[in-house]
């Protein structure tokens, strides 16, 4: 048995295999079932001819829009629908002594009978397929057993109880030349037998690079260890001062063992829904508070929401987090290549957490699972990768008539569709939020552990912050690209940029239409050709996605949803750098392109070690297509620039960012006006101290009775 074969066997054992039941409902956008995955794998195995196959990813090929839209309309109208053809797309490698050949298969999935290979295309030359968990584990095992690496570690004169931990970390590129597919590793020390100890508090200044195809050591990159300059471990006068490291633990059990107790003054907070949740699920179609939509999931994007309708009216065809990049700001080698594309480089679905009841979501929770496969094609089941629940979001709307002192008040209830991914050290929480006022928001939370590197004690650096003795956390950015495929009362839409601007005013000679200098107007500019725009908070800039063929009978304006963009800082890398070229969505906040089937990933199909030729969003914008009264796609880039704080370590508190899609002249009145009043009889709140009466409590009670109110001022 070869090293690759023995490692593959171990990987499958570690990952575990399982299967899921067939869903009770059919929908053409449902993720592939365990049965469909098995049939697809069998079709490829029959053509293997003895080749060592490495199965990397599989997902549904969504039906063409021209075919799917009529089906969705019939389904929404409650009409009988026929089964659409299902197709799987699989990325598979044929490994050999010199590496691997990678092919993309498309497999037909008839309702009955065997699956057939439709096509098998090689991955384009110069493009690198993403790694996967099996490759990461195999590469880590190969590294830790490599004699050259072990010799380099021995020279550090580490204590006998120190263990080396290696995290695979997908670097970028610094050349336009072809490079071998590789897996760099961030290397750390652990002084504990507990696998949950925080090894990120003890980084080693070496980045070994392993071939992703042969698992051989390609090279050892030595890292700068001073705050400034390029001097590495090899330039150090004396041995590496590992004694500077101190434990910096987050695990509650480890902290308790060390005498670091948790807070004891927090009392239970329980979300109880005695009558159950207000949503219903039919397979993966959810219905809640006039909303209806399909919840998909795939290995790359994670959650995909489709056919989103409010009270029967179409709003959006498809919503997803398309891509993201995390460029680091230390210009010294090898850190200058440090730029991850977490979705394209490995996948939101493959890194999704199995969410736990009472931990990641509160209340009455529904969970969705995800079927995939391991590297030998065996089925895997990730349980609970999506959690669905309701949440109280404070006051929805309120008005008190000052003459009668009678309030009208509602609570805002929101529906949350959430997934959490762990990409080595970092976590991202993606939560789609639907409200009763027909609004949709995407909340992104960044948490987890900072990516750390070694720095000599007493040194500081302009490229980051020392967060623990000998530990430098590098400055970096997180940029997300959200793909918004609108269907605002139909699929022919126009994006209109809208600014609020002050009217001209000359105090000495005031214009007749702004005599007092208080006027402002709203300026609109339609985006008619594929292109880009930027947020401008000083102009209150929003982007209205309008239907130019539908007019609101009240306002006389076109029905629309408006995107309230997040005016984040964009790519800080120089426009002529390869890092900048790789981030095809990092130049502007807003892009508008014409719709094309399968143009889903803003960074391009293959982001791993890409160098700016991934054929992504930049090339789609350059087509100069018509996007006026057309089937179009809006892409929004937002994120955060993260200059680490000491308070971000060992695990950073969540950084929260949101974008919003709100109806704008889509309705003839507030869609939330029919939400029931908030009452004590419904909510059953309790006084903090029942024995303590409010001042004038009797007067309040009598007034409440006279006005039909309870003592809290809510409608009785």
3-15 vs 133-144: helix axis angle to the nearest 10?
Answer: 120
Residue 491 DSSP symbol: S
Catalytic annotation, pick one of 30, 132, 330, 342: 342
User: How far apart (Å, rounded) are the C-alpha atoms in residues 29 and 579?
Assistant: 35
147-154 vs 133-144: helix axis angle to the nearest 10?
Answer: 60
- The CA–CA distances, whole Å, from 13 to 7, 10, 280, 446 equal 10, 5, 37, 31
**DSSP track, 619-673:** HHHTT--B-TTB-EEEEEEEEEEE---GGG-SSEEEEEEEEEEEEESSSSS-TTT
**Residue 697 contacts residue 689 (beta carbons within 8 Å):** no
Q: Which helix (H) or strand (E) holds 680?
A: helix 680-683
All residues at 6 or more sequence positions from 688 whose CB lies less than 8 Å from its CB, including other chains: none
User: How far apart (Å, rounded) are the C-alpha atoms in residues 168 and 186?
Assistant: 6
Residue 201, number of CB atoms within 10 A of its CB:
25
223: nearest Cα among 190, 187, 199: 187
SS3 category, 255? helix
- Is residue 98 packed enough to be buried (19+ CB in 10 Å), middle (13-18) or exposed (0-12)? exposed
Handedness of CA 487, 489, 491, 493 (dihedral sign): negative
Residue 125, number of CB atoms within 10 A of its CB:
6
- Both tokens assigned to 416: 């949350």
**Residue 667 contacts residue 569 (beta carbons within 8 Å):** no
- Both tokens assigned to 397: 């709307």
Question: What residue spans of 305-399 are helical by DSSP H?
Answer: 342-345
- Both tokens assigned to 484: 């918004």
Q: Helices then strands (H, E): number in the chain?
A: 11, 31
Is 597 in the active site? Answer: no
Catalytic annotation, pick one of 188, 222, 328, 426: 426
456: nearest Cα among 188, 224, 226, 221: 226
User: How far apart (Å, rounded) are the C-alpha atoms in residues 525 and 543?
Assistant: 10
Is 25 in the active site? Answer: no
Which residues carry out catalysis? 342, 426
């Amino acid at each position: 048995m070869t090293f690759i074969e023995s490692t593959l066997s171990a990987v499958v054992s570690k990952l575990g295999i399982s299967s899921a039941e067939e869903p009770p409902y059919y929908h053409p956008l449902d993720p592939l079932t365990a049965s469909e995955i098995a049939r697809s794998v069998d079709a490829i195995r029959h053509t293997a001819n003895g080749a060592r196959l490495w199965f990397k990813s599989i997902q549904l090929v969504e039906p063409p829009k021209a075919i799917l839209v009529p089906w969705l309309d019939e389904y929404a109208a409650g009409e009988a629908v026929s089964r659409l053809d299902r197709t799987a797309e699989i990325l598979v490698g044929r490994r050999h002594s010199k590496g691997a050949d990678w092919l993309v298969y498309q497999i037909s999935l008839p309702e009955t009978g065997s699956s057939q290979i439709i096509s098998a295309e090689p991955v384009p030359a110069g493009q690198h397929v993403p790694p996967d968990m099996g490759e990461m584990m195999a590469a880590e095992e190969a590294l830790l057993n490599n004699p050259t690496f072990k010799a380099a570690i021995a020279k550090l004169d580490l204590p006998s109880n120190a263990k080396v931990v290696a995290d695979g970390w997908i670097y970028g590129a610094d050349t336009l030349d072809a490079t071998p597919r590789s897996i760099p590793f961030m290397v750390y020390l652990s002084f504990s037998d507990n696998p949950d100890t925080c090894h990120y508090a003890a980084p080693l200044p070496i980045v070994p690079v392993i071939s992703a195809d042969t698992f051989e050591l390609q090279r050892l990159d030595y890292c700068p260890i001073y705050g400034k300059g390029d001097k590495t471990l090899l330039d150090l006068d004396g041995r590496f001062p590992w004694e500077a490291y101190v434990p910096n633990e987050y695990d509650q059990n480890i902290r308790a063992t060390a005498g670091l107790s948790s807070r004891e003054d927090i009392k239970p907070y329980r979300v109880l829904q005695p009558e159950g949740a207000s949503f219903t699920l039919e397979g993966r179609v959810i219905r809640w508070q006039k909303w209806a939509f399909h919840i998909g999931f795939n290995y790359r994007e994670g959650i995909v929401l489709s056919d989103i309708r409010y009270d029967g009216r179409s709003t959006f065809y498809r919503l997803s987090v398309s891509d993201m990049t995390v460029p680091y700001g230390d210009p010294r080698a090898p850190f200058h290549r440090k730029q991850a594309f977490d979705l394209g480089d490995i996948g939101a679905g493959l890194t999704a957490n199995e969410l736990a009841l009472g931990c990641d979501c509160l209340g009455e929770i529904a969970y969705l699972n995800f079927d995939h496969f391991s590297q030998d094609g065996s089925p895997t089941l990730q349980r609970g990768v999506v959690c669905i629940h309701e949440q109280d979001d404070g006051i929805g709307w309120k008005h008190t008539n000052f003459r009668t002192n009678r309030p009208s008040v509602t609570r805002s209830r929101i529906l949350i569709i959430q997934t959490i991914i762990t990409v080595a050290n970092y976590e991202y929480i993606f939560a789609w939020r639907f409200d009763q006022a027909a609004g949709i928001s995407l909340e992104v939370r960044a948490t987890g552990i900072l990516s750390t590197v070694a720095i000599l004690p007493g040194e500081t650096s302009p490229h980051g912050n020392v967060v623990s003795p000998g530990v430098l956390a590098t400055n970096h950015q997180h940029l997300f690209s959200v793909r918004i495929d609108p269907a605002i009362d139909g699929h022919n839409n126009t994006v209109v940029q809208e600014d609020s601007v002050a009217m001209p005013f000359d105090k000495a000679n005031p214009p007749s239409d702004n005599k007092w200098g208080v006027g402002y107007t709203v300026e609109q500019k339609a985006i008619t050709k594929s292109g880009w725009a930027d947020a401008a908070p000083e102009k209150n800039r929003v982007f209205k996605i309008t239907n130019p063929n539908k007019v609101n009978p009240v306002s006389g304006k076109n029905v629309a949803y408006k995107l309230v963009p997040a005016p984040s800082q964009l790519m800080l890398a120089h426009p002529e750098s390869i890092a900048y070229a790789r981030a095809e969505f990092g130049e502007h906040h807003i892009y508008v392109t014409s719709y094309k089937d399968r143009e889903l990933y803003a960074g391009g199909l293959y982001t791993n070690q890409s160098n700016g030729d991934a054929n992504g969003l930049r090339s789609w914008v350059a087509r100069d297509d018509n996007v006026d009264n057309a089937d179009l796609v809006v892409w929004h880039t937002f994120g955060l620039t993260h200059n680490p704080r000491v308070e971000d370590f060992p695990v950073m508190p969540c950084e929260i960012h949101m974008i919003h899609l709100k109806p704008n002249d889509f309705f003839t009145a507030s869609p939330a006006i029919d939400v029931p009043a908030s009452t004590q009889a419904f909510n059953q709140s309790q006084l903090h101290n029942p024995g303590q009466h409010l001042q004038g409590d009797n007067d309040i009670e009598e007034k409440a009775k006279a006005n039909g109110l309870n003592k809290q001022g809510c409608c009785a």
